[in-house]
Amino acid sequence: MSMAPSQLGAFAKSDPGQSRANVEFHVQPLSLGAFGEPLHDFDAFTASVCNLRPTSRGSIHAQGPAGPPEAATPVIAANYLRTEADIQVAADSIRLVRRITAAPALQRYQPQEWLPGPASQTAAQLRAAAGKIGTTIFHPVGTCAMGKDADSGAVVDARLRVFGLEGLRIADASIMPLITSGNTNSPTIMIAERAADMMREDAGRG
């Protein structure tokens, strides 16, 4: 209970044509069918591969009955794997994991693929498999993106001030115009530290 599930991380290219690493590995010494389900009763590891620069875009909107805004319910549409580019990265990542597990250093363990399974071989099968086994690692960003003005679709300016509202700033991952190429926790801490500096400066205490 005191140990994070991911014991290994790595950055890689999903295919040689990428100019730099575009996927991140989160490797866990366990296996399960889905979040919340019991662990499988066999020795296993899970290689979760994340697209670091996805092109699919989700949305969040307030929706509810007529009444005060606080009564509205947030409606979240993740829209994962909605672009051809993202589907291709996911399929290529399955191939990459297979190449790694076929390496001589791992053959003493005789790894056998559980999901998507060795029957998925063609491009179409891998693309379909990516949609079935794909999930989230909970790093949403960009719902209050930074930009030059509200007309551009931005919510905050370069000093994290919300357009149209005096005295309100946002200092979390939602202000990122694009997701960072890695985990979002450390960048979010940096955003918060910078926001604190800005507020001190604006208050004349910088």
- Listed by start position, the domains of the chain span 8-56+82-133, 150-202
Specify whether the CB–CB gap between 118 and 97 falls below 8 A.
no
For 61, counting Cβ atoms within 10 Å of its Cβ (0-12 exposed, 13-18 middle, 19+ buried), the class is exposed
Strands (E), the chain: 8-12, 23-28, 46-51, 59-63, 73-77
Residue 139, pLDDT above cutoff 70: yes
pTM: 0.87
**Least reliable range by pLDDT among 67-81, 138-152, 154-168, 175-189:** 67-81
Q: Is 139 a catalytic residue?
A: yes
Element (H, E) at 186: helix 185-202
At 63, the pLDDT band (50, 70, 90 cuts) reads confident
Specify whether the CB–CB gap between 29 and 7 falls below 8 A.
yes
Please report the pLDDT score of residue 183 as a whole number: 92
Predicted confidence (pLDDT) per residue in 71-126, tens digit: 788 899 999 999 999 999 999 999 999 999 999 999 999 999 999 999 999 999 99
Catalytic residue among 26, 40, 61, 139: 139
Of 2.60.40.10, 3.30.410.40, 3.40.50.740, 3.40.50.970, the CATH number of 8-56+82-133 is 3.30.410.40
What's the CA gap between 122 and 37, in Å, rounded?
A: 30
Instruction: Look over the chain and give the mean of its residue pLDDT values, rounded to a whole number.
Output: 93
